[in-house]
Every structure is written in C-alpha cells, then in structure tokens.
Structure 1
C-alpha cells in the first residue's frame, strides 16, 4: 500500500443533525487515537498465574485532535457554539484508503493562536460520546 497524504484526512461535522456532513476545517496536523480498557479477571486459579482478560467487557474510546485553519467563518462559529454549549454532535473522520469513522463526539478543547504576520490558527480536541462506526472505503 502506498503512503497517504496527511492533508487527505478530513474532519467533517453534521451541523444540523440531518446526516449531511460538511468539512469544517483545513487541518495541518491531526491525530486519531482509538483506545480500549481491559478488564482484568486474573485470580489465584489462573493458569501459570498469567493475566486473564474478560472478552468484550472494556470501555472503548476515541480521541481526535488537530490544528490548522477553519474553512470559513460559519465553520468556526459552528464549532465554537458546540464548545460553549457542551453539545454532542455527529462527526466524521475520513481516513484516506482506510475508511470513515463516524459517531457522536464532544468538543473538549478549542484554542486559537496566530503570529503577527500570519493567519489565525486553532487547535481542536474531540472525545467520543457514544458508539462509533467504521466503514471501509
């Protein structure tokens, strides 16, 4: 498989809840982390005293972070409103040549910055807030 360009990883928001996702930002750097906690059920009868885990019992989470430029003022306003309201909305992360991760996320961090001779940039963090789906492209 050939390498994928990082710029092709897209962050999209279902702004009005109708299932129509729109790209909200030009992300210059981004990161998606999928995690699962394990449930340890090791006891004194465990074979060889090796750790045993309970299948399908842990909590799964996804975290997404990125920085870059908002697509336009409307995208900036939508994300900012979600942050201040603490609302959870459906987001979609398109991972080129792999698939699409879709589901509810909450904006947990929103930072703005900029240089005197450049554009305003932002940093954004999202945390999963429900069941996510992964569809292969």
Structure 2
C-alpha cells in the first residue's frame, strides 16, 4: 500500500475455514475495529550497590506480550458467519489473519473471549467480539 494515511475499514480480521487448503474470509459487518499490541512491564529497578542512599533510576524489561483484536458492527448472516458462530458456541480455537494496513499481517490460532449480540426494535442486530491468540502469531511485514 502507498505511504500515507490508511483507511480504518481496511484493518481486517479474516477467519479460516479449517480446510486442508485453508481459505480465509473477512469477518463481515465490522464498522469499528481495534488491534492492540501490548507487553507487561517488569520492574528491574535496584538501588546502587555503591551509593544506596543516592537517587534510584527506574528500569524495566518487557514481560508477556499480546496481540488482540476487537470489533463491532452489524450482524450479517452468511455461511461463513454460521461457521464462525459454531466456533464461538463451542469455544473453539481457529486460524485467523489480522491485516493491519501499513504494518503487516499477524496470522495464527485465535479464539473469541467475548461475543455479544444486541439489537433494538428498528435497527439491524449488532455484535461485538474480542479475539486473543491461542499461540504466538506469525508476523509478516507489509511490503
């Protein structure tokens, strides 16, 4: 993709169908989405051994890292959505690709930690979903 601003709607999660030659399909209906990369901070601060009464400089190292995806939008019934629903109901791990424009693709096994359907009298049914990795995702940088 060209340098510059990236369209938010091109931040995607694709769900694998589990077949031998796996086919990945965009999770349809997303209107908002978020990809988070985080690492716990491990405090490694110690006072100086030669000047214990002197100033202490805080230091840290990275701990557990995580790459999560969440999104919400309009529920769109389809064969792919029905297969995805089965994975949610069964609390199953499935292969997914998270495509982050300008960064790259994170691929690997994921599962859904939270899934909510909602609706009112007039509007379309909506959903929210949160995805966490079941194993470290493989990262391929965008060319």
Runs of 4+ with deviation above 4 angstroms: none
Structure 2 stretches of 5 or more lacking a match?
A: none
TM-score (norm 2): 0.80
Provide TM-score, normalisation by structure 1.
0.83
Q: Tell me the residue number matched to 2:96.
A: 91
Distance 1:69 1:104 in 2: 24
Shift of 1:123: 0.7
SS of 2:79's equivalent?
helix
SS at match of 1:115: coil
Matches within 5 A, 1:26-45: 26-45=29-48
Contact kept? 2:18, 2:95, Cα under 8 Å? no
In structure 1, what is the equivalent of residue 110 of structure 2? Answer: 105
Aligned to 1:81: 86
Distance in 2, Cα, partners of 1:79 & 1:68: 15
SS at match of 2:59: coil
The answer to whether structure 1 residue 126 and structure 2 residue 131 are counterparts is yes
Residue 4 of structure 1: aligned partner: 6
| Gap change, CA 1:103 and 1:62, over 3 Å in 2 | same
Displacement of 1:83 after TM fit?
Answer: 1.8
Contact conserved, 2:15 with 2:27, CA < 8 A, in 1? yes
Question: 1:34: how far off?
Answer: 0.7
Q: Report Cα offsets for 1:77-122 as digits up to 9, x if no partner.
A: 2222222222112211112232112122110111112232222221
Aligned-pair CA distance for 1:17: 5.2
